[in-house]
Structure 1
C-alpha cells in the first residue's frame, strides 16, 4: 500500500504548486487558462483485507472522480479546486490478485489514472527449510525463506525450520549491485515463526530453545530483516522464535525508498522497521554492528512495535545507539533484556525524537556508551514509562552524564517499581540526569542509589540549577528514603552496599526499602492514573512475576521466600 507521504519537502512542493495553480488563473484575458492536476501518489498496493486509504491531489479546477472496480468505494465523487484528500475503501479479497483504477478528471479536459493493486486472498501457510526448493505449502515440499516471502500474502504464517538463512534478494528500491542491500524484506502482514526441527514433518511444534532459527546478514547486509509493510488498521507483522544476527549497517547516509518511506542504510543492522506495526516475540536481535548508528533494532516513521520475551544484546555501533532506537514511533517492551550493547549516545535504549517507550519487567544492563546516557535515553519531546525494570551496570566514558536514565530537551519519564543502581558515568547523574528544557521525572516505589558519578555528586542530577524538582514518592534516592507524600523519612538511611543483594533484592533489618514501599492496593490505585494505565499483575508483581502482596518492597525485586 502506498501511504500518504508526510515528508517536509513533499509538503513544501505541494504548497508551492498550489500557489502556482492559483496564479495560473490570474493571467491576462487573452492568455489561455491551463488546467492543472497534480497527484501525490499514482499507485497503491493494498492488502487482501478491508482497508481505508487516502488519495491526495492538487487541482485549479473543480474535479470529478470515478472507479472501474466494484471493490473500490470512493467517499466523494466530485469537489472544488484546491488541495484534496479523497478517502476510499477497498473490500476484502478472497480470490486471485486484482487491479482496479481510480480516475480523477477536471472538467473533462484533464485526467489522471491511479492504479490500485490488491493482493490475492489468504492461502495455506508456508514452510521453510534450509536449502529447500519446493513449492512451500507443506514440510515435505518446503521452500527457501526468500521465496516464502515472495509468495506470501497477508494472513500467512511462514514456519521456519532450524538452520541458518542468509538473504539473497535486494530490498525494494535498493541497488542490485550493492551487496549490502540484500535483506529479508517483510512487505506483507505475515508471521515469521522459527524454532521447528531441521527435519520437521507434519504436526511438528516450534521450540526455539532447542531448534535455533538464525536469520543472518553474513556480516554484509545493511539490515538482516526489513519490515516495510506499511500501517493498515487491524494488521501487523509478527516475528517469533528467531535469532537475527550478523547484520552490518553502513556508514553512508543513503536510503532505499519503499512506499514513500526512506529506509536509511546506516541505521538498524539487525532489524529495521519503517511505518509498520510489528510484534517481536521470543526473538533475539544479537551481535549486529553498525558503521554509524543503531546496530540492533531501529523503528521509525510512525511505527508501533511490541517486544516480548526477547533479547537485544551484544550489538555494537560506531555512532549512537547500540541496542534500540525508537524514532517518532512507539515501543512497548515486556519481559525482555537489553544487555551488553555498545555505542556513543544511548548505548542501550534510545528514544529520539518524539518517541514513546514503555518498558515493563525488563533488564537494561551492562551497556557501554561513549557519550550522553548509557542505558535509557530519551530526547526531544519523548516519553518513557518504566515499570518493574532493573537498570544496572551500565557505563559511559563521557562527561555528559546520565548513567541509568537520561532526559534531554523537554521529555517526561515515569518510574515505578524500578531499581537503578550500579551504573557508572564520568559525568553527573549516574542514576538519572536531566538536561535542556523542562524534563519531568515522576518516581514511585523505586530505588535510585549506588551509582557512580563525577565528584561523588547525587544519583539524580540536572544540568540547569533551576530544573523542576522530581516527584519522588515511597522511594529511595541516594541514601534518603521518601514517604508517600514525598517527604524525607527521618532516621531512615539506605546503604546500597549492604541493603541490596548481588541480584539487587533489598535485604536486611532496618532497610527502608523493605518497610516503606507501597502496598499492592496503593500500586493498583497508582496504576490506574498512569498513561498508559498499568493494571493487574503488571504492577502488583515484581520483575520476575513474584507477588508483592503483603509486602512493602521498593524497587524491581522482592524477596520471594
Structure 2
C-alpha cells in the first residue's frame, strides 16, 4: 500500500537537511515497517500493511541536530487511504545566531535602543532572560547586528530617541518584530532586514470645516473639528495666503473680516507642530461672499430661560429655513435644522439636551436656495433643575410666589425636561386629576402620581434657595385624600367623616416604571380611604399609597389617618421593591391585612423599612393580622432600626405578621405596648414556609391572648431568635413571652425575664396535630429564662418537655434600670435604656458568638453582608469580651 505524508512545515522545511519518517503499528499490533530516511516531501511511501499506525516525522539540520518533530496518531491504512497531514513543532533548545540589519529614518534620531524580549511559542518552551543592545550613533544609515542568543521565540523591540525633540522626552513609538531562533543554525538562519519609518510627523488635519458669511460687511466665520492631539496650533489660509497667524492649540473657530463681497475665496485650515503642517484635506471650502442677495438674518434675538429655554427672534426677510446652533465651550452640543423661515423662535426641552446651570452660546443661520447668513453669537445660562410648587400654583415653577407651579403638573413636566427636583411649599394639596387613569365618573378615583427619576421634597416655606434650608416639621406639606376626623389610637382608633375621600392619595398601577431613583421626602400623606370591594381590588388596598411594579424611595414621609381593607397607609404588590426610611406610620387602619402596610409581592428582593416608627395603627377585623406591617406570598422584607408602639390587632400580630412563603429579617428594633386579640402581641408568624430572623431587638409590655411578644402558628417554619430581650410581656392564656405551634424555632443568646401567662410564663408549645403529627421541639442555647426549670415556665401541651437546652440558666440578668426600661429620655434604643446589662451581670460574655447570624440586612451600612452581625441594638460593637453578651444590648 502507498501512502503520502503531507507535513505542515511552516518555514522549518527550508532549514532541514534530512527528514526521517518512522512507523509504529497500533492495530493489529504485530506489523512492522522500516523507517524512511532522507524522505522527500510529497512522495509516496509504499508497502505499509493495512491497519492503524502512529507516524512520526523528524527534521534534522546539516549538523544532524534535531530541528522539529511531529506525530500523526491513529492513522488508518486501507484501500481508501488519503494523504496524511502532520503538524511539525520546532525544538527550541541550545543557542542559535540572530542576524538583522536596521535601516533608520533620515532625521531626528540620535539613539537607538534594541531589546530582545522573549515570549512563548508554546507552553513547553523555556526561554532565557532578554538580551539588550544599546546603540549610540551620530548619523543616519544602517546598523547590522550578528549575535548568539538562546534558541526560542523573541519580540525584537526597537525604540528610537531624539534628544532635541520639543515635545517631551523624544521617544518614538516602539517597533516590534517577532523572530525565531533555532538551535545551531548559523548558516541557514535568514537575516532580518528592517526599515524603520519616520515616526515623527505633522499632526492630523482638522475636519468638518464650515464657512458662514455672518453679514454683508462681509464677515466670515470659520469653524472646524479638532482631529489632532499633537498640534501646537492652527493656521487659516485664504486663497493660499496665511491670514490668521499662528492660532493656539484646540482652537476651533476663526473670524475673517478682510474679504470683499462678490469674490470667491478658498479657505483652508491646517494644524501644525515642529514637524510641519497637516494636509488641509477635508478642512478646505470654497465660498463666494455676497453683498446683496435679499436674505436677512433674524433680528432681536433673545432667550427666556426657565425649565425650558425659549429662544426668540424676529424672522428676517428672504429665508426659506432657519437653523439653531448651541455650543458649550466652543463645541456644538445641539442643533435644530429645518425651522420654517417665518417662525418666531424655538422652545427647547432640556431633557437629555442641555445641562442645568451651564453657560452656552447660540446663533441662528438663515438659508435660502443659494445662500446663508448668520446672526451674531449670544450667551445664556440654563436654569436650575428645580420646580417650585405651591398650593393653587399655576406658574412654570421657576420661582416661588406667582411663578410656583401646580404639583401634578410639575411631576408630569419632569418627563419632558429631564431629572428634576420638585420643592413643595407647606400647605395642603388634594388631587383633582387622574394622571394614572381611573373612572372619570367616580370622584374618588382622583389621585396624585410620581414619575420616574423625579425627586419630590416637602417642608419649604416659600423663601428657600437651598434644599438644606427647609423644615418639614415646621412647614408641613400635606397630600390629602380629603377630610378625616381622628379619635383615639391603637385599640381605640376611629377614623370618621372620610366617606367621600379618594381611594388612594398616590396611585401607581403597573406600568409606571418607578425605581428607587424616584424620591418622595419630607411630606405627609393622609386621608386615603380604600374601603370598596375586597380581595385584590385596587379600591380595597393602599389608602395612602398604592404600588404595583413600582419601587420608589420614601424617606421622611408621614403616613397618617389612612384606611384600607389591606394596607391602610401603604399597599405594595407585583414586583415592587420600595425603600422606606426615617418615616412615620401613625394611626392608620387596615381591615384584614396590614393596618399600616401590607405587602404581597414575589419580587424576591428585599423591601427595606429602616429607622421608622409605627404607632397607634389598627387591624379592625378579628380575623385580620399585622397592625403595623403584614407581608406574605414570597415577599422579602428587611426591617431594621424601627420602633413599634401601641399598635393593635383584633386578630393576630399586634405589630408585625409574617405570612406564608415570606422571608423576613427584624433587626435592631423595639416593640412596646403592642396588642393582639389572638396570637403574637408584637410578632406573629402564620402559614407554611415562613423564614424569619429576629435579632438585636427588645420586646417590652406587649400583650396577646397567646404569645405576649411572639406567636408562631403552623408547621414548616424556619424561625431563629437571637440576642433579643423579652421583658414584661404578658399573655392572657399561654406563652407570656413566646407561643409556638410551628417549628422547631431556635432561641439563642437571649433574655426572657418577667413575662407572665396562665400557662408557660416564658414559652408555651401548643403541638397541634392538626398541622404537624410529629412532636414539637425547641432549641434554646445560651439564654437566660426566669424560673427556668420550674413548673409553668416552659409548658408543652403534651406534658412532655422535649426541648433541647444548652447553657440555659435562670440567673438574674441585672438590668441597669428595670423600673424604667425606656430611660429618662422616653426614647427606646438610646444610651439611657434601662434594659442594658449592669457591670456585674451574669449575662455578660455568657452567649455563644458562633450562633450570631449573618449580617444579610447590613445593619451597620458598611456594604459587607458576609460578616456576622457587627453591632448591637444601640449600634455599639456586638462582641466586646470573650463571647457575645446575652440580650439585645452588649455591655461596653
1:475 to 750, 772, 779: 750
Contact kept, 8 Å, 1:187 with 1:229, in 2: the verdict is no
Match of residue 502, structure 1, among 798, 813, 821: 821
Aligned ranges for residues 182-201 of structure 1 at < 5 Å? 182-200=446-464
State yes or no: 1:438 paired with 2:716.
yes
Q: Can you list the C-alpha shifts for 1:467-495, whole angstroms capped at 9, x where unaligned?
A: 43222221123568942897243352459
Name which one, 1 or 2, has greater alpha-carbon Rg: 2
Written as runs of structure 1 = structure 2, the 5 A alignment for 1:110-189 is 124-139=385-400, 141-153=403-415, 155-189=419-453
TM-score by length of 1: 0.68
Shift of 1:204: 7.4
Structure 1, unmatched stretches of 5+, are 1-91, 97-121, 256-262
Q: Secondary structure at the match of 1:150?
A: helix
Q: Rate the CA distance shift 1:512–1:229 in 2: closer, same or farther, 3 A.
A: farther
Matched residue, 1:454:
732
Q: CA separation in 2, counterparts of 1:535 and 1:441?
A: 23
* 2:645 alignment partner in structure 1: 365
Match among 615, 618, 624 for residue 339 of structure 1 = 615
Using CA pairs under 8 Å that are at least 6 residues apart, name the structure with larger relative contact order, 1 or 2: 1
CA contact (8 A) 2:880 2:891 kept: no
Q: Distance in 2 between matches of 1:307 and 1:281?
A: 6
Q: Indicate the larger mover: 375-384 or 432-441.
A: 432-441
Give me the whole-angstrom Cα distance separating, in 2, the residues matched to 1:396 and 1:506: 24
- Quick one: which of 498, 502, 506 aligns to 1:225? 506
Deviations 1:431-457 (A, max 9, x none): 222112311111221123422113343
1:177 alignment partner, SS class:
coil
Note if contact 1:222-1:250 (Cα within 8 Å) is conserved in structure 2. Answer: yes
**In the alignment, is residue 423 of structure 1 matched against residue 702 of structure 2?**
yes
User: Kindly tell me: are residues 323 and 233 of structure 1, through their superposed partners in 2, closer, same or farther at Cα, counting changes over 3 Å?
Assistant: closer
Deviation at 1:500, TM superposition (A): 6.5
How big is the shift at 1:165? 1.0
Partners of 1:389 and 1:171 in 2: CA distance: 38
The question of whether the paired residues in 2 share the 8 Å contact of 1:506 and 1:559 is answered with: no
- How has the CA–CA distance of structure 1 residues 558 and 160 changed in structure 2, closer, same or farther, with 3 Å as cutoff? farther
Q: What CA distance in whole angstroms lies between the structure 1 residues aligned with 2:889 and 2:852?
A: 18
Is residue 487 from structure 1 mapped to residue 806 from structure 2 by the alignment?
Answer: yes
How far 1:202 moved relative to its partner?
7.2
Partner of 1:238: 519
TM-score, normalised by the number of residues in structure 2: 0.44
Q: C-alpha deviations, 1:40-91, integer Å up to 9, x for none?
A: xxxxxxxxxxxxxxxxxxxxxxxxxxxxxxxxxxxxxxxxxxxxxxxxxxxx
Q: 3-state SS of the aligned residue for 1:215? A: strand
- Find the aligned partners of 2:456 and 2:836 in 1 and give their Cα distance: 44
Greater displacement, 449-458 / 244-253 = 449-458
1:94 equivalenced with 2:352 (yes/no) = yes
Unmatched tracts of structure 2, length 5 or more: 1-349, 355-382, 484-500, 755-761, 763-779, 784-803, 823-832, 864-868
Change (3 A) 1:125 1:508: closer
SS in 2 for 1:188: coil
264-273 or 152-161, which moves further after superposition? Answer: 152-161
Q: Are the structure 2 counterparts of residues 340 and 431 from structure 1 closer, same or farther at C-alpha, using a change threshold of 3 Å?
A: same
- Change beyond 3 A, Cα 1:254–1:531: closer
In structure 2, the partner of 1:295 is 568
Contact 2:452/2:515 (<8 A) preserved: no
- Is the CA contact (8 Å cut-off) linking 1:155 and 1:189 kept in structure 2? yes
C-alpha displacement at 1:250, in angstroms? 2.3
Pairwise CA RMSD? 3.4
Q: Which moved more, 1:195-204 or 1:478-487?
A: 478-487
Call closer, same or farther: CA 1:536–1:125 in 2, change over 3 Å.
closer
**1:283-323 Cα distance to aligned partner (Å, 9 max, x none):** 11112123x22211111111111111111111123333211
